[in-house]
């Protein structure tokens, strides 16, 4: 592993700004590392070396076209883009055989913004088909494997992004999250998966601009790098109705980290199953907050209707793909078919009920954060499992009716519109990572990053990353 790969993104940025290294050198280091580990982990199956080198040379020569902005945020750092987001001239498949040869002629606005801010796209990270599922595999590229243990899943749907960070292929990654797709891979790979509030990271133009369940967000190896990446992703965009004009500097939040005074915590969000190994890890996380001087109070938002709510709202999103089901059913995986068919069967009464339930949940959450600075809970109810298992249908003797119930700890928080993050917490006795989930009130990413930095500073239960893949 090249020594520069071991440095954080913020350290790399400093070296770039001080002209100690060049973007082209970093791109080559990234590509060399990809060539070394990609045959083992399959995290970033699509590489765009020529495009990346061309962009790197423009940054070196200060040859960015007028209006492209100051590349100072990322300054030439190689990054990965999830294969759900179009990158101009680069194969973009959405993990689906329907788009296995698709090459877009325009990038998503998020990619354009990252590139304006000095991010160099070196490749597309692997994802489940259309981002559905928390185990990253598809019929185009196959499964992504965990660098901690190549028999284990990296989670999903931003699993390739998390694995590319953990293995040192790139220094920063973008991902997206509906039911936990940034946070679950963060937990399973021991990196930071940050889900911002809707509109903090604008995307588009798209055909569902009012969707507040799905958001884009940063992934990184530590909290400071996450703040750096979030800075490069945020800002107003007229085609995103939730985007914001006033955005703080998130690096300031981590440079002067705060300790949360009153922290509410829950082991099980009201009685959900929890693997004993995750419970033990969460107890260790609670001790970290105790060592910081936080007051810990066992309390929880009322998530009693969350199972109903996520099924309705998620299915409603997928119902928009009815034409895809009608014309290409034989090329869709069963989970996609189930999502669409469930959405098409929804009644007006069910949708209206869901909207009323979500309104109450949002109001209850706002009231909850009038009492507490922070809420914490496990990220996932289990540690990483075997990659051959599509999804978990049972945990601790509790059987599930569908493929999304085991994601309860993340998709319940999605429904609140609150920003949430999975931080590396500890490891099982056999070396598998477990994350802890931190949550603040809606639109308070600043304090969430600040509290996260304090936790990271006091937590001694993690292992330094990146790592070489451990082949099992």
Name the active-site residue from 107, 125, 163, 181: 181
Task: Give the C-alpha separation, 62 to 70, whole Å.
Answer: 10
Residue range 398-410, pLDDT digits in tens: 999 999 999 999 9
Output the average pLDDT for the chain.
96
Instruction: Determine contact, residues 202/183, Cβ cutoff 8 Å.
Output: no
Beta-carbon contacts of 131 under 8 Å, excluding residues fewer than 6 positions away, are: 82, 84, 94, 95, 156, 157, 176, 178, 181
pTM: 0.96
Task: Give the C-alpha separation, 97 to 101, whole Å.
Answer: 8
Percentage of the chain with pLDDT > 90? 94
Q: Is the model's pLDDT at 368 over the cut of 50?
A: yes
CATH no., domain 3-458: 3.90.1300.10
Residue range 36-75, pLDDT digits in tens: 999 999 999 999 999 999 999 999 988 654 444 455 799 9
Task: Give the C-alpha separation, 468 to 40, whole Å.
Answer: 10
Domain ranges (residues) in the chain: 3-458
Residue range 128-166, pLDDT digits in tens: 999 999 999 999 999 999 999 999 999 999 999 999 999
Report pLDDT for 471: 98
Instruction: Provide the β-strand partners of residue 152.
Output: 386
Report pLDDT for 206: 82
Report pLDDT for 212: 93
- pLDDT confidence bin for 415, thresholds 50/70/90: very high
> Average pLDDT in the 236-258 region?
95
Residue range 302-343, pLDDT digits in tens: 999 999 999 999 999 999 889 999 999 999 999 999 999 999
Report pLDDT for 70: 56
Name the active-site residue from 30, 107, 144, 157: 157
Residue 234 CB-density burial (10 A; 0-12 exposed, 13-18 middle, 19+ buried): buried
Of the given ranges (62-66, 94-98, 212-216, 327-331), which has the lowest mean pLDDT? 62-66
Element (H, E) at 295: strand 295-298
Report pLDDT for 71: 59
Instruction: Provide the β-strand partners of residue 47.
Output: 123
Name the active-site residue from 58, 82, 124, 333: 82
Report pLDDT for 62: 80
Q: Is 387 left (phi over 0), alpha (psi -120 to 50) or beta?
A: alpha
- The radius of gyration computed from the CA coordinates of the chain, to the nearest angstrom, equals 21
- pLDDT confidence bin for 359, thresholds 50/70/90: very high
Q: Is 181 a catalytic residue?
A: yes
Exposure on the CB side of residue 141, measured as CA atoms within 13 A: 32
Q: Is 216 a catalytic residue?
A: no
> Average pLDDT in the 446-468 region?
98
């Amino acid at each position: 592993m090249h020594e520069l790969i071991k440095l954080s993104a913020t350290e790399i940025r400093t070296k770039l700004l001080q002209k100690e290294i060049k973007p082209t050198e970093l791109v080559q280091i990234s590509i060399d590392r990809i060539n070394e580990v990609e045959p083992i982990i399959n995290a970033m199956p699509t590489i765009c070396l020529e495009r990346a080198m061309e962009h790197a040379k423009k940054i070196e020569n200060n040859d960015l076209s007028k209006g492209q902005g100051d590349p100072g945020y990322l300054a030439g750092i190689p990054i990965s883009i999830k294969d759900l987001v179009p990158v101009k001239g680069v194969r973009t498949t959405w993990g689906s055989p329907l788009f296995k040869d698709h090459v877009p002629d325009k990038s998503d606005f998020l990619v354009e913004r990252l590139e304006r801010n000095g991010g160099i796209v070196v490749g597309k990270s692997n994802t489940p088909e259309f981002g559905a599922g928390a185990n990253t595999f598809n019929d185009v590229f196959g499964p992504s494997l965990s660098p901690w243990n190549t028999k284990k899943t990296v989670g999903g749907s931003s699993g390739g992004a998390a694995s590319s960070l953990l293995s040192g292929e790139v220094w920063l990654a973008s991902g997206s999250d509906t039911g936990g797709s940034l946070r679950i891979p963060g937990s399973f790979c021991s990196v930071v998966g940050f889900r911002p509030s809707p509109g903090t990271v604008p995307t588009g133009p798209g055909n569902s601009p009012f969707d507040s369940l799905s958001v884009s967000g940063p992934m990184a190896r530590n909290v400071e790098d996450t703040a750096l990446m979030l800075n490069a992703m945020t800002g107003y965009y007229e085609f995103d109705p939730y985007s914001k004009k006033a955005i703080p500097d998130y690096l300031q939040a981590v440079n002067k980290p705060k300790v949360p005074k009153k922290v509410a915590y829950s082991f099980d969000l009201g009685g959900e199953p929890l693997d004993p190994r995750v419970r033990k890890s969460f107890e260790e996380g609670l001790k970290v907050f105790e060592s910081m001087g936080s007051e810990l109070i066992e309390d929880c938002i009322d998530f009693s209707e969350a199972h109903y709510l996520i099924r309705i709202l998620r299915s409603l999103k997928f119902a928009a793909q009815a034409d895809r089901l009608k014309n290409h059913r034989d090329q869709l995986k069963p989970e996609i078919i189930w999502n669409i068919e469930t959405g098409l069967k929804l009644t007006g009464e069910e949708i209206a009920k869901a909207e009323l339930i979500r309104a109450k949940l949002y109001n209850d959450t706002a009231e909850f954060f009038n009492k507490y600075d922070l809420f914490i809970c496990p990220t996932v109810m289990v540690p990483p499992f075997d990659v051959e298992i599509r999804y978990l249908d049972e945990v601790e003797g509790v059987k599930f009716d569908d493929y999304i119930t085991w994601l309860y700890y993340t998709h319940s928080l999605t429904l609140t519109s609150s920003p949430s993050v999975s931080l590396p917490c500890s490891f099982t006795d056999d070396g598998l990572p477990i994350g802890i989930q931190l949550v603040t009130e809606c639109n308070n990413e600043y304090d969430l990053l600040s509290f996260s930095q304090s936790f990271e500073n006091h937590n001694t239960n993690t292992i330094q990353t990146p790592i070489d893949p451990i082949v099992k």
